Amino acid sequence: MSGSALILSAAVLLGAVGVYLAMPGSRLSLGRAALVLLLGAGAIMVGSVTRMLEANQQVWFALFAALGLWGAVRVVTHRRPVYSALYFILVVVAVTGMLVMMHAEFLAAAVLTIYAGAILVTYVFVIMLAQQGGDSAYDAHAREPLWGCLTGFLLLAVIANSLMEPATGSAAGAIELPASAAGTVQNVGISLLTTYVVGIELTGVLLLAAMVGAIAIARRRAGEDTAGEVD
Amino acid sequence: MLLPYVLVGAALFVLGLVGFVTRRNLIVMFLCTELMFQGIIVNLVAFGRYPLRGEPTLDGQIFSMFLLVVAASEAALGLALVVLLYRNKGTLDANAWTTLKDATA
């Protein structure tokens, strides 16, 4: 095991303990300790990983990675669903920044519009519909946080270690981007309407089916068995 | 450089996974699946931009776009189901819906 893999494993371990401590209703409710652990884990991970990038990308990558990971931790650990949804917007913004760094400009705009503009609004509406009162008991207590963190971060440790193997590491150097593979509207549009045109058609069918299904499900009255009787 | 992006994508995915397993609020569980989608989008685009062999292609971005469509459909249907479940029992607790579970367990 190389030195950088060891450092990353330590960061993953720190992060696992931090997320476990930050979970709502964990037996050791140490908010301050969890914060310190999470900040340490994030700093180690982002710092060790950022050094591999080219110099002109390091600052932005560190910023977006830190923002995204912090937002993700808050989505998972916040007691109130509305704040989880708002922190998720932070994750979307950070991911969008990374997509722009990888020259996927159109996809970045699409992700920001669809996630922050459409999907999150739906979530916030459902939260308003379904959860008026303040804190509820099931938000204040996580279900099996120890085992959940253990399994999840074990997976992350395995991924990180296998990524750090020399074969993968040396194969992934700096690669020049040809103009035909930049994510501009022109390139993406040509690709979507020639190579992937069947996929586009199927996508339309899927969206229509989802829309009809959502309307049919949501109009059903409570306690009613059949979906009919809509006027 | 591929590695930093893939690692951040993996971390986002794992955080979503942990949240999905541990949180009990149905809406937060669905939010965590969206978190996993974000990690996957980063991964797909990173592998398209920095392929292990050959030239960079747009395929990762196109796949991410299809993933967006699937995510939107999933959110619409999943949230419709959440609203329906809430109307039936008046709670968002996932533990309230254990009727399919073995009674002796």
Q: Nearest CA to CA, how far is A76 from chain B (Å)?
A: 5
Residue A98 is assigned to a structural domain of this protein: yes
Across the interface, whether the CB atoms of B41 and A99 are under 8 A apart is answered yes
Q: What is d(CA A89, CA A71) in angstroms, rounded to the nearest whole number?
A: 8
| Residue A119 CA: distances (Å) to CA of A84, A179, B70, B93 | 14, 32, 12, 22
The secondary element (H helix, E strand) that includes residue A77 is helix A58-77
pLDDT classification of A29: cutoffs 50, 70, 90: low
Average pLDDT over residues B14-39: 92
Which of A195, A213, A183, A102 is closest to B75 using CA atoms? A213
The reported pTM is 0.88
Find the helix or strand (DSSP H, E) in which B7 lies: helix B2-22
Q: Which residues of B touch A72 (CB under 8 A)?
A: 11-12, 15-16, 35
Pair B55, A181: CB distance under 8 Å:
yes
Residue A72 Cα, gap to closest chain B Cα (Å):
7
Look at A48-57, A115-124, B34-43 and tell me which has the smallest mean pLDDT. Answer: A48-57
Q: pLDDT tens, B30-88?
A: 999 999 999 999 999 999 888 887 788 888 999 999 999 999 999 999 999 888 888 88
CA distance A26 to chain B (A): 11
User: Is residue A185 in some structural domain?
Assistant: no
Q: For B43, which residue in chain A has the nearest alpha carbon?
A: A99
Give the mean model confidence (pLDDT) for residues B16-20.
93
Q: Express each pLDDT in A79-101 by its tens digit.
A: 888 899 999 999 999 999 999 99
The verdict on residue A146 lying in a domain is yes
Domains in chain B: ranges and CATH = 2-93 (1.10.287.3510)
Q: A133 falls in which pLDDT band (50, 70, 90)?
A: low
Confidence band of A184 (pLDDT split at 50, 70, 90): confident
A53 in reach of chain B (CB within 8 A)? yes
Would you say residue A226 lies in a domain? no
Establish if A221 belongs to a structural domain. Answer: no
Rounded CA-CA distance A175/B54 in Å is 10
Residue type, A132: Q
- Domain limits for position A131: 3-170
Instruction: Establish if A115 belongs to a structural domain.
Output: yes
* Number of domains present in the structure of chain A: 1
Residue at A207 is within a domain: no
Residue A197 belongs to some domain of the structure: no
The CATH number of whichever domain residue A143 belongs to comes to 1.20.120.1200
**ipTM of the modeled complex:** 0.90
Q: Give the pLDDT of residue A231.
A: 44
